[in-house]
Amino acid sequence: MPMHKGWLPREGFTVDVVARLIGRTALNPLFLAPLLLLARLTKRGEDLSILHPQAYSRTRLLFFLGVARWLNAYWSRGAENNWVRDDTYDWVRREIVVVTGGAGGIGGHIVRLLAERGVKVVVLDIQPLSYDAREQPSPRMLTVGGYKLTHANREKAPHVHYYKCDITSPSAIAAAAALIRQDVGTPTVLINNAGVARGKTLLGASERDIRFTLDVNCLAHAWTAREFLPAMVAADHGMVVTVASWAAWLSVPEMGDYAASKAGARSLHECLAAELRTRYAAPRVRTVLVAQGHTRTALFAGYAEGGRFVLPSLEPETVAEAVVAQVLTGRGGQVIVPGFGNLLAGMGGWPAWMQIGLRNACEKLMTNFAGRQVVEDLDGFYKGREGEKGGAGAEESAVLVPE
């Protein structure tokens, strides 16, 4: 599963291609500086700048804009990484990556990309792995604290380890984590990727629908972090990746619970990043926020796609490659794809008429939604789970699917 290469992405010619080209040319100080130097230091260049003063002044303006853009990116990278380096990442011999919802979809591609580069990956998912048999050996079943946990045989799959686990249950995560530390080692990277979508209006959704979405998409991020983060803090080394969505900024009809869960996940992520600096004295534990637009997975089947040039629907491999590329740098930051998402990130500061207009304009996006639902009868599912656990309640009762 090699990384995609080439000028054009899988999605074809989009505005992101144009923006990237402009960034490498018209807003690239290294590209423009020689032109300005020639205009100042050579007779021919000086004559041309006098003959074409407007072209010269615009080139100079683009140069200064490019420098400002470069300084902004430099300062942002420094702030995102607390102005400290961490050159100790050893992806083959030291790092162990936990991926929730890694049995398929975006998470499955993340797992395979990392494993093919020799990185040890642990998958936490309720579903079986959907990859090639070489990455899905016959598992051995383990039962700990009433939870069935499946661990892929390490000898047959040296880089992929699979545990069947309900990530919305803190006790199930604790049991799985104990086995992971025993069988694989102490995880150094956590990628919270699992997600679900019910696709219902606020009044059309049941209590179970809303709770289910929030359990999986938001609260599980807190439970996995509480289990795996302490070791990273103690070592002052590691990374937490939150796969959110554009929905964290833009809520549209029939996506209220989904958007709320993604906004919550983003807020938890931002708080964690601040606490790592100010409370835990662990500035080298990195945080990466992922905000992707519509991605063609079974989770969002039937979703109305936007304009292919400005708002292309992404292939899951595209998102996975962007996430893996960022993770392998060993640096914190943001992964926003497509680039239009950078405008949505500031939507809270837009005039009210623009915000309301955009939400209303998106009212048909979920009209034909037919996304995959692992659990159709949530009432029956929750009641069954509560009965099995002696009335454990909502805290112990949700299932995840890969996004």
Burial class (CB in 10 A: 0-12, 13-18, 19+), 31: middle
Residue 262 among the catalytic residues = yes
What confidence tens digit (pLDDT) does each residue in 341-354 have? 999 999 999 999 99
Q: Are 35 and 59 in contact (CB under 8 A)?
A: yes
Question: What pLDDT does 139 receive?
Answer: 41
Structure tokens that stand for 160 in this block = 């992929």
A 10 A CB-CB count for 33 gives 13
Give dist(CA 260, CA 241) in Å, integer.
19
List per-block mean pLDDT (blocks of 10 residues) for the chain, which spans 403 residues. Answer: 78 91 94 93 91 94 96 97 95 96 93 94 89 46 40 53 89 94 96 94 93 94 97 98 96 95 98 97 98 93 87 94 97 95 93 95 92 74 59 38 40
Least Cα distance to 272 among 290, 291, 285 occurs for: 285
What confidence tens digit (pLDDT) does each residue in 352-378 have? 999 999 999 999 999 999 988 866 777
Structure tokens that stand for 149 in this block = 């946990």
Instruction: Assign residue 173 a region (left: φ > 0; alpha: ψ between -120 and 50; beta: otherwise).
Output: alpha
What order of strands is seen across the sheet that includes strand 160-164? 160-164, 120-125, 96-100, 189-192, 238-243, 285-292, 333-337
**DSSP SS3 for 147:** strand
Q: Are 235 and 187 in contact (CB under 8 A)?
A: no
Question: What pLDDT does 202 receive?
Answer: 94
Question: What pLDDT does 143 receive?
Answer: 37
Question: What DSSP string runs through 11-27?
Answer: T-S-HHHHHHHHHHTTT
Catalytic-role residue among 262, 280, 303, 383: 262
User: If you compute the radius of gyration of the chain from its CA atoms, what whole number of angstroms results?
Assistant: 23
Question: What pLDDT does 399 receive?
Answer: 38
Per DSSP, 187 falls in state -
Q: Are 252 and 363 in contact (CB under 8 A)?
A: yes
Q: What are phi and psi of 147, to 5 degrees?
A: -105, 135
Q: Are 243 and 192 in contact (CB under 8 A)?
A: yes
pTM attached to this predicted model? 0.88
Catalytic-role residue among 258, 382, 383, 389: 258
Tokens 């949700």, residue located: 398
Question: What pLDDT does 152 receive?
Answer: 42
